[in-house]
């Protein structure tokens, strides 16, 4: 969880605002059986670290952030308790631009999952793949766990 703790909340929220929707971009998620289609999605890639962000505006705001160490396509385990990998995912059920969101769910050693990067096109600057994970409520501290799955296609890379 160390990577997500370092980034939350300002850069995560900023990442979600940086990327306007694109007609060929899709990011669909399902949280505990409830569909959540993205209003905006984007990603950052530095040749080794990949951060993928999602934001939905209607009917209310929500966000998902996926952070992995990846040099190309493959399947990556969210095991952010391992400082060597730092892979993790988080769900923000009500992500506010003023950082007033106080509910955060994140992967950890007991709530884990995977992300599969099926396409990482450096020339076209897009990333595609799918994910599934469980996330435990970490802020405020709670015992609720959510199940999240989804896919993304042609999400623009910064």
Question: Residue 85 has what pLDDT?
Answer: 67
Sole residue written with tokens 């994910």: 131
- Is residue 125 pLDDT above 60, yes or no? yes
- Mean predicted lDDT score pLDDT of the chain: 80
* Residue with the larger pLDDT of the pair 84 and 75: 75
CB 79 within 8 A of CB 89: no
The one-character DSSP state at 131 is E
Euclidean distance between CA atoms 141 and 59, whole angstroms = 26
The whole-number average pLDDT for the span 114-142 is 92
pLDDT digits (tens, 9 = 90+) for 7-43: 444 344 444 444 444 447 889 999 999 888 888 899 9
Total-model pTM: 0.80
Tens digit of each residue's pLDDT (9 = 90 or more) over 50-63: 999 988 877 677 88
pLDDT given for residue 80 in this prediction? 58
What is the structure's pLDDT at 135? 93
CA distance 64 to 138: 14
- How many Cβ atoms sit within 10 Å of the Cβ of residue 60? 9
């Amino acid at each position: 969880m160390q990577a997500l703790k370092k980034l939350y909340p300002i850069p995560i929220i900023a990442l979600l605002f940086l990327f306007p929707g694109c007609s060929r971009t899709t990011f669909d998620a399902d949280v505990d059986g409830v569909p959540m289609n993205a209003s905006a999605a984007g990603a950052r890639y530095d040749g080794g670290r990949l951060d993928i962000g999602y934001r939905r505006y209607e009917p209310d705001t929500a966000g998902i952030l996926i952070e992995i160490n990846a040099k190309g396509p493959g399947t990556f385990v969210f095991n952010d308790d391992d400082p060597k990998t730092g892979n993790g995912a988080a769900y923000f059920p009500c992500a506010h631009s003023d950082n007033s969101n106080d509910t955060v769910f994140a992967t950890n050693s007991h709530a884990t999952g995977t992300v599969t990067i099926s396409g990482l096109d450096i020339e076209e600057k897009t990333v595609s793949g799918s994910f599934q994970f469980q996330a435990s409520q970490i802020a405020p501290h709670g015992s609720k766990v959510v199940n999240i799955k989804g896919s993304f296609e042609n999400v623009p890379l910064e």
